[in-house]
Amino acid sequence: MRLRLATPGPTEVPQRLLLAGAREIVHHRSPQMEALFDRVNAGLPPLFGTEGPVYTVASSGTGVMEAAVANCFSPGDEVLVVSNGYFGERFRDIAAAYGLVPHVVESGWGTGADPKRVAAAHAAHPGVKGVLVVYSETSTGVLNDVAAIGDLFRGTDVVVVVDAISGLLVHPLEADAWGLDVVLAASHKGFMLPPGLAFVSVSDRAWWAVEKASGPSYYWSFDRLRRFHPLSSSSPAVSLVQALEESLAMLAEEGLPAFRERHAVLARAAGRALDALGFTPFVREPHRRSHVITSALAPEGIDTTRLLRVLSESYGVSMTGGQAHLKGRLIRVGHVGAVDILDLSAILTAVELSLADLGHRFTPGAGVGEAVRTYREAHS
Ligand SMILES: *Cc1c(COP(=O)(O)O)cnc(C)c1O
């Protein structure tokens, strides 16, 4: 059985990138590695909308979330955590683990964070040193308005840290123009690479905070990243950096506008397909829907834990459902990275077959048909 990933990270890795990561290993202090890092370091900042450097580390996404907290703040610092999902909660937990005092600005899972409430929380806690916010909240499929949130802190010393791990590339992000001080990303989402690399951009305002912060860090130290740049401070994930160079080439060939349009069409196609199969969109406001995944509540009588098991065991499709209270009720169809309409159609076919196996009644092809129609509409 062929295995297919319909998860929002890791994602399918194109053969071209797998092969790029299968080359000979070069030493991390060699001229070859320096040249490779120079090329990669030149390609990354425009994708973050920054003039500053973007550092590449061997890590999962969570590692750089932790690094941002460890470097920018000190124990006892108050921070705002804008949370409307699982990754927002992870930011809160990391902040608490480092002895910070997180004030959580919570909104319902599935709803976009309200910048007005963030402004009110800042007024209530004027001493906060930072704001931690997730751009594309992958646990629910919500896209938060980080441009508006960044705008609230212009002219202040508050450091705005954005988890753009799934949102970068898929949605526009302008770190400098939007006032986003630390922007985090990772290899296994839009970059179409295996997991293992994470990226972090650091603004001037963030560097002032880093210099004042007193918490310990060593492998994660931004200062060490800066000192060793353009090389890495210890052994880099050489194969992944080799593949990253190729990923940047693929992104440049497609162009970001086309890359984004492809994801927008896939999200629309998946949303309409699930509607046709009796699902209910989880994110009500269409303009707050992330194009990384499509999240939907299952029709009456369908337990998504069972649905996901059938998808995996009978059709080889890895898909995720809801976390915490959404377990059993939500499915999240991932379509980020190298996914095209043929891949999505295959995934939707597997969803239809699995629903039929579970006894759900619907017109066969109803979902796939909507996806095909949506694609045609976008390309005629
Ligand atoms: C994938 C993801 C992460 C990081 O997950 P890791 O498993 O640590 O790589 C963090 N935040 C968001 C929004 C994500 O989508």
Q: What is the CATH number of the domain that holds 288?
A: 3.90.1150.10
Instruction: Provide the angle, in degrees to the nearest 10, between the axes of the packed helices 238-254 and 256-276.
Output: 90
**β-sheet bridge partners, residue 58:** 197
Please check whether residue 374 lies inside any domain of the structure: yes
Domain assignment of residue 152, yes or no: yes
* Per-residue confidence band for 298, with pLDDT thresholds at 50, 70 and 90: very high
Which of 197, 218, 253 is the last residue before a domain boundary?
Answer: 253
Which of 218, 233, 253 is at the close of a domain? 253
Mutate to test the pocket of ligand 1, among 62, 171, 292 (most ligand atoms within 8 A of CB): 62
Contact 276, 96 (CB under 8 A): no
Span from the CA of 10 to the centroid of ligand 1 (angstroms): 9
pLDDT tens digits, one per residue of 104-143: 999 999 999 999 999 999 999 999 999 999 999 999 999 9
Q: Is 253 helix (H, G, I), strand (E, B) or coil?
A: helix
3-state helix, strand, coil in the chain (%, to 5): 45, 15, 40
CA distance linking residue 215 with residue 293, whole number of Å: 36
Average pLDDT, the chain: 97
Residue nearest ligand 1's atom 3 by CA? 61
Same domain? For 107 and 185 the reply is yes
Taking residue 215's Cβ as centre, other Cβ atoms within 10 Å add up to: 16
101 and 224 co-located in one domain: yes
pLDDT of residue 188: 98
Look at residues 369, 354, 238 and name the one whose alpha carbon lies nearest to residue 298. Answer: 354
Question: Residue 323 pLDDT more than 90?
Answer: no
Q: Is 8 helix (H, G, I), strand (E, B) or coil?
A: coil
Question: How many C-alpha atoms does 188 have within 13 Å on its Cβ side?
Answer: 17
Residue 104 Cα to ligand 1 midpoint, Å, equals: 19
The confidence score (pLDDT) of residue 325 equals 87
Within this chain, do residues 210 and 278 fall inside the same structural domain, yes or no?
no
β-bridge pairing 330-334 and 293-297: antiparallel
The count of domains in the chain is: 2
What ranges make up the beta strands (E) of 214-271? Answer: none
Instruction: Identify which of 109, 138, 336 to mutate to test ligand 1's pocket (most ligand atoms within 8 A of the CB).
Output: 138
* Residues 180 and 277 occupy one common structural domain: no
For ligand 1, the distance from its centroid to the CA atom of residue 85, given in whole angstroms, is 12
pLDDT for 250 beyond 90: yes
Which of 91, 163, 184 most suits a substitution to test ligand 1, by most atoms within 8 Å of the C-beta? 163
Instruction: With beta carbons less than 8 A apart as the criterion, state whether 9 and 195 touch.
Output: yes
Is residue 37 within 8 A of residue 233, CB to CB? The reply is: no
Query: Counting Cβ atoms within 10 Å, is residue 132 exposed (0-12), middle (13-18) or buried (19+)?
Result: buried
Q: How confident is the model at residue 13 (pLDDT cuts 50, 70, 90)?
A: very high
pLDDT digits (tens, 9 = 90+) for 170-208: 999 999 999 999 999 999 999 999 999 999 999 999 999
| 66-104 pLDDT tens trace | 999 999 999 999 999 999 999 999 999 999 999 999 999
Same domain flag for 93 and 121: yes
Domain of 91: which CATH number?
A: 3.40.640.10
Query: Ligand 1: residues whose CB is within 6 Å?
Result: 8-9, 60-62, 87, 134, 136, 138, 163, 165-166, 186, 195
Q: Residue 171 gets which letter from DSSP?
A: B
Give yes or no: residues 224 and 265 share one domain.
no
Q: Whose CA is nearest to atom 6 of ligand 1?
A: 61
C-alpha 283/C-alpha 108 separation (Å) is 10
Instruction: Look up the domain containing 43 and give its range.
Output: 15-253
Q: What span, in angstroms and rounded, lies between the C-alpha atoms of 286 and 93?
A: 29
- Please say if the pLDDT value at position 273 is more than 90: yes
**Last residue within a domain, chosen from 253, 283, 306:** 253
Residues 339 and 230 in one domain: no
The kind and range of the H/E element at 105 are strand 101-106
78-83 vs 101-106, strand pairing mode: parallel
Q: 201 phi and psi, to 5 degrees?
A: -105, 145
Lowest mean pLDDT of 13-17, 179-183, 229-233, name the range. Answer: 229-233
